[in-house]
Amino acid sequence: MVLYLDGRRRYLTRVKRGSTLHTHKGYLAHDDLIGKAFGSPIQSSLGARFVALKPTLRDYLRKLARRTQVMYPKDMALLLVYANIGPGARVVEAGTGSGALTSLLAFYVKPEGRVYSYETHGEFLETARRNLERTGLLEFVTLKEGDVTQGIEETQVDAVVLDLATPWLVVPYAFKALKPSGAFASFSPTIEQVVKTVEVLNHHGFVDLETVECMTRRYQVERGRTRPETLAVAHTGYLTFGRKAVSQHGE
Amino acid sequence: MVLYLDGRRRYLTRVKRGSTLHTHKGYLAHDDLIGKAFGSPIQSSLGARFVALKPTLRDYLRKLARRTQVMYPKDMALLLVYANIGPGARVVEAGTGSGALTSLLAFYVKPEGRVYSYETHGEFLETARRNLERTGLLEFVTLKEGDVTQGIEETQVDAVVLDLATPWLVVPYAFKALKPSGAFASFSPTIEQVVKTVEVLNHHGFVDLETVECMTRRYQVERGRTRPETLAVAHTGYLTFGRKAVSQHGE
Amino acid sequence: MVLYLDGRRRYLTRVKRGSTLHTHKGYLAHDDLIGKAFGSPIQSSLGARFVALKPTLRDYLRKLARRTQVMYPKDMALLLVYANIGPGARVVEAGTGSGALTSLLAFYVKPEGRVYSYETHGEFLETARRNLERTGLLEFVTLKEGDVTQGIEETQVDAVVLDLATPWLVVPYAFKALKPSGAFASFSPTIEQVVKTVEVLNHHGFVDLETVECMTRRYQVERGRTRPETLAVAHTGYLTFGRKAVSQHGE
Amino acid sequence: MVLYLDGRRRYLTRVKRGSTLHTHKGYLAHDDLIGKAFGSPIQSSLGARFVALKPTLRDYLRKLARRTQVMYPKDMALLLVYANIGPGARVVEAGTGSGALTSLLAFYVKPEGRVYSYETHGEFLETARRNLERTGLLEFVTLKEGDVTQGIEETQVDAVVLDLATPWLVVPYAFKALKPSGAFASFSPTIEQVVKTVEVLNHHGFVDLETVECMTRRYQVERGRTRPETLAVAHTGYLTFGRKAVSQHGE
């Protein structure tokens, strides 16, 4: 359940009988939350008015993002739509990390599609597994300990999605794994990663290449005081896309 | 089929025996396209090298966007993820227009979800119906001639999504139509539309309000010549989100 | 003197015999700074390498900006050039505040020009006077306690420059104060201030109206790690410009 | 004289007895313009209402920019202030091009300062000379045919300002030409130019390095219809700054 206080403060919590949520605006007894309809108001011990909301995918992403992730929901959203990933798609993803992007992909390929998520660090996989279980999305994901710069086992996939340090090393394996016309998508914080990746994509016959940056700006909206917020995240990373073309005589 | 020439030129075409695609780089006989595997190269009469690609959702959106639409795929992507719309969701949308956003919503709520799309202009509905048929998404959509500023017939929906001139007039009906905790999302080109809508959302007890602008910038990537493209669309519109909260005694 | 350590740390200090500059990288005795050539390296007590730099206008602005100012050097730079303010110009400015914009204007109109700077709060004027003395620019400025929403005493000025809450109230007096063809320029954080000001400018016969926002993004530049900085100031304010037109029969 | 019609249309013209200015809104006889006060309205033969304005520096820049220039007034403004260039400064500039940046620099260093502007193409120098004569700024400029990647003749200058393809080749000569603590500033469209230049600046002991991009967005301001303009120039170039530090034993 999300306990929403205001634009800056929200608490994603798993309701457990006997537990208590402590906030600097007072505490809330979990027992009072049980059976509460989503959307209902809840008063804290200090009288602050919270609203009980149903957690969204983005609420989970917000939580995961506090840790290692640099990709933001804005980037994931663009990646999803630009790489044509939707219900039923089979997608290879690497690296898994805390499972934030994995969750988003699983949320959108379900119920028929599947995400094959590779991670070289076994300990990250355990964290990701727990996060995916919590969001109920684990059944749509195959978590794999492995290094996509050495190879990809799946074939005929609809998309290969990368958030790792050396995406250019994965391009040949992504080419083999993809269906013809399938989508390659990569997220990179630095411009040098982009340049190398685009060079290798061109070399391997990917077409429809595109590199794009997505920036968002939030607004304070209030009659007479409307303006963009002062501080913003000015850069997370660049997104690079391509699609697999094949030669006349097959691949 | 999409016939892709380069970053600026692509042709979305329905392959028909006996037809010809004329481009300024020569023509292509549709008969040569039949049975062609996606990803394959095709030569035009003038020797230009095209690649046959499977149309993506975004290819269709690009086509539709040439007409009346101001919302771009970047905006639709953000709206989708921020409003937590995914497979299985029931969504009310207005106005239908040419069906671009309708297509994207249907693509992502399928196969279990449904889009109820309202439009006041009957002639737009016919265009939208043809476009949705073409993309195979019509079965997930209910097209309705009607004015959401007068009322919404559906109830317990997961999201209400607006791209129309007076979103603030729809807020009371969106509140009734939504499940508690459900998402309101609205796209508006001008800041005055945003201010009015946010005022009415606050008045009707929506919480978790957020107004955000999404800007993208494409890059020319080529070692030694890497830079953002010179011209860009600097503004399409603002996205405003909120979630339905309910009072202690129901709505 | 500026003691520059790195991109994030610099110290603007007035060198005084016997004084000491304390930093978290050790201290520097002012006596060692005396007679030091600009550009020279200086070691702190802990061995950190500082460089002695000559203070620039922007170093002073940085110092002043720590207090009340929302206008950034980027905004002042645009204002300066777009309002055609250069050496020899006579400029009315309000409000003075800590004197940051006043300093910049004085720096650029000297030696023949003059800045008439109005401030309603007498205590701000004292701060501004000290700051202008320190930068050696006071002789080009007339500091005036007064309210430009009630009137402007100067006439035939080249530009009227505003950074205050209600710029629209000043428009009629700016019109009287300006030479024909002279420039009006106003900085406002909110869009509602802009809309009101533009309406009144139109009403009073100003032409060549323009509202513009200036955004900057700094880069981390290092081969293999080049990228925009993560956080940025996403909004300071909008700049609105206009020029005085006159009717056939004079003003 | 500038004949201003509206936000999109203005005509910078030299008034000559007997001449006629033709616009698609009718013509204006130059004889009617003679003796006209700045700010006055003028009717065209078709009844369109123009306003006679005094040309500003930016009006001239607009004119020059139509030709070869990629640097915009926004970039020049930032460069001016960030490089601490003001009245009295001695500045080396290259390449001259059509003289747009030269004009801005001359405008701001006058009357005591001087711009030494290098250009390898003699034919550009002639164009620049005519443009500078027209704006009355030629007396503050020394135009030089020469290649700054081979050397700079001036010494003890306050700033070296570059808008050319290989700024990194100029860094050693800029170092010699500058006063200690003096400013280096360079404008480059591509990121690879920036990376190379920053590397060489670091190597030659420049400090206070900074790379920044300046983006502007214009607004359509009208109550009920206020919004950023749809299209914008999304990229002109990156600005890189540094300041000369010296070793203990001189340079």
Q: Are C191 and A227 a contacting pair at CB < 8 A?
A: yes
Q: Using CA atoms, how far apart are residues C102 and C91, in angstroms rounded to an integer?
A: 10
Cβ atoms A41, B248 nearer than 8 A: yes
What is the phi-psi region of residue C8: left when phi exceeds 0, alpha when psi lies from -120 to 50, beta otherwise?
A: alpha
pLDDT tens-digit map of D21-60: 999 899 999 999 998 889 889 999 999 999 999 888 888 8
Interacting residues of A17 by C-beta distance below 8 A, sequence separation 6+ = A30, A31, A34
Contacting partners of chain B (3+ CB pairs under 8 A): A, D
Amino acid letter, residue A117: S
Q: Are C191 and A234 a contacting pair at CB < 8 A?
A: no
Residue D43 host element (H or E): strand D41-43
What band does A150 get if pLDDT is binned at 50, 70 and 90? very high
CB pairs below 8 Å between A and C: how many? Answer: 61
Predicted confidence at residue A77, as pLDDT, reads: 96
Q: Are C78 and D82 a contacting pair at CB < 8 A?
A: no
Q: Given B73, B212, B217, which is nearest A216 (Cβ)? A: B212
Q: Using CA atoms, how far apart are residues B50 and B9, in angstroms rounded to an integer?
A: 10
Q: Using CA atoms, how far apart are residues A38 and C30, in angstroms rounded to an integer?
A: 65
pLDDT tens-digit map of C129-155: 999 998 899 999 999 999 999 999 999
Q: Are D39 and C181 a contacting pair at CB < 8 A?
A: yes
- The sign of the CA dihedral C124, C125, C126, C132 is positive
Residue C50: count of CB within 10 angstroms of its CB: 26
Residues of A whose CB is below 8 A from C192: 223-226
User: What pairing do the DSSP bridges indicate for beta strands B9-12 and C231-233?
Assistant: unpaired
Q: Is the per-residue pLDDT at A249 higher than 50?
A: no
Closest residue in D to B236 (Cα–Cα): D230
Q: Using CA atoms, how far apart are residues D57 and D80, in angstroms rounded to an integer?
A: 14
Q: Which of D109, D243, D106 is nearest to D185 (CA)?
A: D243
Arithmetic mean of pLDDT over chain C: 92
Both tokens of residue C162?
């505003």
Question: Which value, to the nearest 10 degrees, does the dihedral of the CA atoms of residues B25, B29, B30, B35 take?
Answer: -100
Cβ atoms D26, C55 nearer than 8 A: no
Question: B57-65 vs A73-82: helix axis angle to the nearest 10?
Answer: 90
pLDDT tens-digit map of C61-89: 887 765 555 899 999 999 999 999 999 99
Domains, in order of start, for chain B: 2-55 (3.10.330.20), 58-244 (3.40.50.150)
What band does C176 get if pLDDT is binned at 50, 70 and 90? very high
Closest residue in B to D230 (Cα–Cα): B235
Residues of D whose CB is below 8 A from B236: 230
Q: Which of C25, C171, A228, A202 is nearest to D217 (CA)?
A: A228
What is the phi-psi region of residue A134: left when phi exceeds 0, alpha when psi lies from -120 to 50, beta otherwise?
A: alpha
Interacting residues of A126 by C-beta distance below 8 A, sequence separation 6+ = none
User: Residue A12's beta-bridge partner residues?
Assistant: A2
Mean of the pLDDT values across residues B201-213? 94
Predicted confidence at residue B69, as pLDDT, reads: 57
Q: Using CA atoms, how far apart are residues D156 and C20, in angstroms rounded to an integer?
A: 31
Interacting residues of D169 by C-beta distance below 8 A, sequence separation 6+ = D149
Q: Using CA atoms, how far apart are residues C62 and C7, in angstroms rounded to an integer?
A: 13
Q: Is the per-residue pLDDT at D148 higher than 70?
A: yes
Of A35-39, A152-156, B102-106, B130-134, the least confident: A35-39
Contacting partners of chain D (3+ CB pairs under 8 A): B, C
What band does A47 get if pLDDT is binned at 50, 70 and 90? very high
For chain C, percent of residues with pLDDT exceeding 70? 96
Distances (CA, A) of D45 to A28, C243, D26, D27, D99: 77, 24, 5, 5, 35
Interacting residues of B249 by C-beta distance below 8 A, sequence separation 6+ = none
**DSSP of C200-239:** HHHHTTEEEEEEEEEEEEEEE--TT--EE-SEEE----EE
Interface of C with A in 230-249 (CB under 8 A): 230-237
pLDDT tens-digit map of B31-59: 999 988 898 899 999 999 999 998 888 88
Of B147-156, C161-170, C203-212, D185-194, the least confident: C203-212
pLDDT tens-digit map of B129-152: 999 998 899 999 999 999 999 999
Predicted confidence at residue C66, as pLDDT, reads: 52
Q: Is the per-residue pLDDT at A69 higher than 80?
A: no
For chain C, percent of residues with pLDDT exceeding 90? 79
For chain D, percent of residues with pLDDT exceeding 70? 96
Interacting residues of D250 by C-beta distance below 8 A, sequence separation 6+ = none
Q: Is the per-residue pLDDT at C37 higher than 90?
A: no
Rg for chain C (alpha carbons), in Å?
A: 21
Q: Given C7, C53, C199, which is nearest D181 (Cβ)? A: C53
Residues of B whose CB is below 8 A from A180: 37-40
Distances (CA, A) of B111 to B59, B91, D236: 21, 13, 46
Q: Using CA atoms, how far apart are residues D112 and D106, in angstroms rounded to an integer?
A: 10
To test the contact with chain C by mutation, choose from A71, A72, A74, A227 the residue with the greatest count of C C-beta atoms within 10 A, namely: A227
Q: Looking at the complex, does the CB of residue D192 fall below 8 Å from at least one CB of chain B?
A: yes
CA C4 to chain centre: 22
Mean of the pLDDT values across residues D118-134? 94
For chain A, percent of residues with pLDDT exceeding 90? 80
Residues counted in chain D: 251
Interacting residues of C201 by C-beta distance below 8 A, sequence separation 6+ = C171, C184, C209, C240, C242
Arithmetic mean of pLDDT over chain A: 92
Interacting residues of A197 by C-beta distance below 8 A, sequence separation 6+ = A167, A168, A171, A186, A188, A240
Interacting residues of A66 by C-beta distance below 8 A, sequence separation 6+ = none
Rg for chain A (alpha carbons), in Å?
A: 21
Residues of C whose CB is below 8 A from D82: 58, 73, 77
Both tokens of residue C82?
């777009």
Predicted confidence at residue C59, as pLDDT, reads: 87
To test the contact with chain D by mutation, choose from B71, B168, B190, B221 the residue with the greatest count of D C-beta atoms within 10 A, namely: B190
Predicted confidence at residue B62, as pLDDT, reads: 80
Q: Are A41 and B245 a contacting pair at CB < 8 A?
A: yes
Residues of B whose CB is below 8 A from A223: 195, 199
Q: Using CA atoms, how far apart are residues B19 and B14, in angstroms rounded to an integer?
A: 10
Question: D57-65 vs D122-134: helix axis angle to the nearest 10?
Answer: 150
What band does A251 get if pLDDT is binned at 50, 70 and 90? very low
Cβ atoms C5, C48 nearer than 8 A: yes
Mean of the pLDDT values across residues C188-199? 97
Closest residue in D to C107 (Cα–Cα): D86
What band does D116 get if pLDDT is binned at 50, 70 and 90? very high
For chain D, percent of residues with pLDDT exceeding 90? 80
Arithmetic mean of pLDDT over chain D: 92
Q: From the CA of D187, how many Å to the nearest CA of chain B?
A: 13
Q: Is the per-residue pLDDT at C24 higher than 70?
A: yes
Closest residue in D to B166 (Cα–Cα): D224
Own/partner long-range contacts of D122-125 (Cβ < 8 Å, ≥24 apart): D124/D95, D124/D96, D124/D97, D124/D98, D125/D96
Q: Using CA atoms, how far apart are residues C146 and C87, in angstroms rounded to an integer?
A: 26
Q: Using CA atoms, how far apart are residues A70 and C46, in angstroms rounded to an integer?
A: 36
Q: Are C192 and A224 a contacting pair at CB < 8 A?
A: yes
What is the phi-psi region of residue C140: left when phi exceeds 0, alpha when psi lies from -120 to 50, beta otherwise?
A: alpha
Burial class (CB in 10 A: 0-12, 13-18, 19+), C146: middle
Residues of C whose CB is below 8 A from D107: 86-87
What band does A223 get if pLDDT is binned at 50, 70 and 90? very high
Cβ atoms C200, C186 nearer than 8 A: no
Rg for chain D (alpha carbons), in Å?
A: 21
Model pTM? 0.91
What band does C121 get if pLDDT is binned at 50, 70 and 90? very high
Q: Looking at the complex, does the CB of residue B213 fall below 8 Å from at least one CB of chain A?
A: yes
Q: Are B190 and D228 a contacting pair at CB < 8 A?
A: no
What band does C120 get if pLDDT is binned at 50, 70 and 90? very high
Mean of the pLDDT values across residues D164-175? 97
What is the phi-psi region of residue D156: left when phi exceeds 0, alpha when psi lies from -120 to 50, beta otherwise?
A: left
Residue C20 host element (H or E): strand C20-23
Burial class (CB in 10 A: 0-12, 13-18, 19+), A35: exposed
Q: Are B233 and D229 a contacting pair at CB < 8 A?
A: no
Residues of D whose CB is below 8 A from C108: 86-87, 108
